[in-house]
Amino acid sequence: MRLSKIMQNDYLRLHQKAEKGAFVVWIAIVVPAELFSGFENVVYAVPESHAAMSAGKGVGPLQCEKAENNGYSPDLCSYARIDLGTSFDGGKDSPTFGLPKPHLLISDNNNCSLLVKWFDVYHREWGIPHFILDVPFCYETQKEEDLRYILSQYQDIIKIIESMSGQRFDYYRFIEAVQNSHEALFHWKRFLSAAAHKPSGITVFDSFVQMAPFLTSRGTKELAEHYRLLADETLENVSRGIFPVPDEKYRLLWDNIAPWHQLNKMSARLAELNANIIAASYTYCMGSVEGEIDLYNYDGADPLRYLARTQNFSVCPHGLELRFQSMKKAIASMGIDGIIFASNRSCKVYSLMQMDLLKRATDSLGVPAVMIDIDHADARKYTEENVFLRVEALLELIDAKRNALARAHHKEG
């Protein structure tokens, strides 16, 4: 209920402020939105988040088709197709009546460089300036020179908004926003920590849907408060013995973006099998830096530097070795029995190293794993039976491993 209200208010406020003349920025998912809090009347919208919501509400394929009818290939990312379809049709069929038209587009190429191409479509069609936040990919821990390069671009973003909107950047408002976000992330990690309990206090589907306000309310007190309450309630439920899958037999890890069109169905069907996907690389990365799963601490000294250091907080900007390191930590800390690698046609950047990750997880960590085919927002590219055939095979693998261990113990005994 509280989550729905926050989301409704965020989109309502966005439309209302835009209507009243606020400067509107469309951003890619990992552009640090706290920067906009430094301005009195700048609002931001996240097309990826809107696309995920559209998929969750069941209008993904409809909006994708609109983009396809305008010549955009069905092989393109379904978020992009949903967003293009929605925009070309003036927001029709969108759960939020679309997004207010932007004055500025800010994409980045670390999470997904195709976002730059996607935003370029609007840049060309509507003649709106497009800022490309250029962030070097992380094969290893972020280098100081890369951090400085990112910092210089944050300064450029501030300058361009000042010059386009005529508003002055207020550093103190910005500091407050960064503190709010950091506090929110602190509570986010507390919320996720409920997964370590056996049985888990959460399912991954809870954490998937709870990511949404981080994208639409970044930098606000409301976000920090929401995550504080969420963590308190969840941990309270754990202490009272209330669990989403009480007879949890299989504790699974999910690797990739959520299949937004399948959350309810998948969750229910897994629960019937006493299986719980308790964590995801997609959600444990929030608030961390490359190769880690714990909160990256903000000491309050330099908020811009903190944002630059955590610019690569999501999984996609990380190389294989770093992803493996964080996955290994998650497996150990949460007692994971098996991994579902969701090979996602709409997100090559997330998916195209999963075959080697799967091999490493099974070979070196001994954790059973399977790969399933999904598309995060285009339900037409998803086949439930194929997916569950694999998931059930994974559960059998876990059983086989447990039986083998039990036999070994028995022999030793």
Partner 1 sequence: MHAFDEIKALRKDISKTIGCFPLYPPLELFHSMGFTPFVFWDLRHFINSFNTADKHLQAYACSVSRRLVEFICSTPDDIIDALFMYNACDTLRNLPEIINCCLQEKVNKPRIFKMHIPMAPEEQTKTTDYLSGRITALIRELEESFGVSFSPERFRQSIALYRKMRLLNEKLEKMVAQNIISYNLFSLITRKGLFAKIENHIEEMESIAANHSSSPKNKHDVPTASVIISGILPPPPSLIDALENYEIRIVGNDIATQRRSYAYTPGDTGDPCLYYRDFYHHHFPCPTLLYKSDQRLAAIKNLIYNTRARGFIFIGEKFCEYEYFEIPYLEKKLREMGVFTLHLEISVDDESGANYMTRLEAFAELLKS
Q: Is 117 in the site for partner 1 (CB under 8 A)?
A: yes
Binding residues for partner 1, rule CB under 8 A, total: 49
Which one of residues 10, 48, 83, 146 is an interface residue with partner 1 (CB under 8 A)?
146
Which one of residues 16, 141, 152, 403 is an interface residue with partner 1 (CB under 8 A)?
152
* Cβ 42 to partner 1 shortest distance, Å: 18
* Cβ 151 to partner 1 shortest distance, Å: 11
Contact region with partner 1 (CB under 8 A), list: 53-61, 112-120, 213-221, 245-253: 112-120
Per-residue H/E/C for the chain: CHHHHHHHHHHHHHHHHHHCCCEEEEECCCCCCHHHHCCCCEEEECHHHHHHHHHHCCCHHHHHHHHHHCCCCCCCCHHHHHHHHHHHCCCCCCCCCCCCCCCEEEEECCCCCHHHHHHHHHHHHHCCCEEEECCCCECCCCCHHHHHHHHHHHHHHHHHHHHHHCCCCCHHHHHHHHHHHHHHHHHHHHHHHHHHCCCCCCCHHHHHHHCHHHHHCCCCHHHHHHHHHHHHHHHHHHHCCCCCCCCCCEEEEEECCCCHHHHHHHHHHHHHCCEEEEEEHHHHCCCCCCCCCCCCCCCCCCHHHHHHHCCCCCCCCECHHHHHHHHHHHHHHHCCCEEEEEEECCCHHHHCCHHHHHHHHHHHHCCCEEEEEECCCCHHHCCHHHHHHHHHHHHHHHHHHHHHHHHHHHHHC
* Cβ 164 to partner 1 shortest distance, Å: 13
Q: Is 372 in the site for partner 1 (CB under 8 A)?
A: no
Q: Please tell me the distance from the alpha carbon of residue 19 to that of residue 34, in angstroms, as a whole number.
A: 22
Contact region with partner 1 (CB under 8 A), list: 186-194, 228-236, 298-306, 342-350: 342-350
Which one of residues 49, 109, 311, 314 is an interface residue with partner 1 (CB under 8 A)?
109
Q: Is 351 in the site for partner 1 (CB under 8 A)?
A: yes
Q: Is 151 in the site for partner 1 (CB under 8 A)?
A: no
* Cβ 399 to partner 1 shortest distance, Å: 27
Q: Is 296 in the site for partner 1 (CB under 8 A)?
A: no
Q: Is 307 in the site for partner 1 (CB under 8 A)?
A: no
Contact region with partner 1 (CB under 8 A), list: 152-160, 167-175, 207-215, 233-241: 152-160
Q: Which is nearer to partner 1, 232 or 356 (CB)?
A: 356
Going by C-alpha positions, the residue among 198, 279, 207 that lies closest to residue 241 is 198
Q: Fill in the amino acid letter for 397.
A: L
Q: Is 320 in the site for partner 1 (CB under 8 A)?
A: yes
Which one of residues 25, 64, 105, 114 is an interface residue with partner 1 (CB under 8 A)?
114
* Cβ 87 to partner 1 shortest distance, Å: 13
Q: Is 388 in the site for partner 1 (CB under 8 A)?
A: no
Count of Cβ atoms closer than 10 Å to residue 68 Cβ: 16
Q: Which is nearer to partner 1, 203 or 354 (CB)?
A: 354
Site string for partner 1, 64-103 (x = CB under 8 A): ------xxxx-xxx--x-----------------------
Q: Which is nearer to partner 1, 179 or 354 (CB)?
A: 354
Q: What is the dihedral angle through the alpha carbons of 331, 335, 337, 342, rounded to the nearest 10 degrees?
A: -40
Q: Is 26 in the site for partner 1 (CB under 8 A)?
A: no
Which parts of this chain interact with partner 1 (CB under 8 A)? 70-73, 75-77, 80, 109, 112-114, 116-118, 120-121, 123-125, 131-134, 136-137, 139, 145-146, 149, 152-153, 156, 160, 316, 319-321, 343, 345, 348-349, 351-356, 359
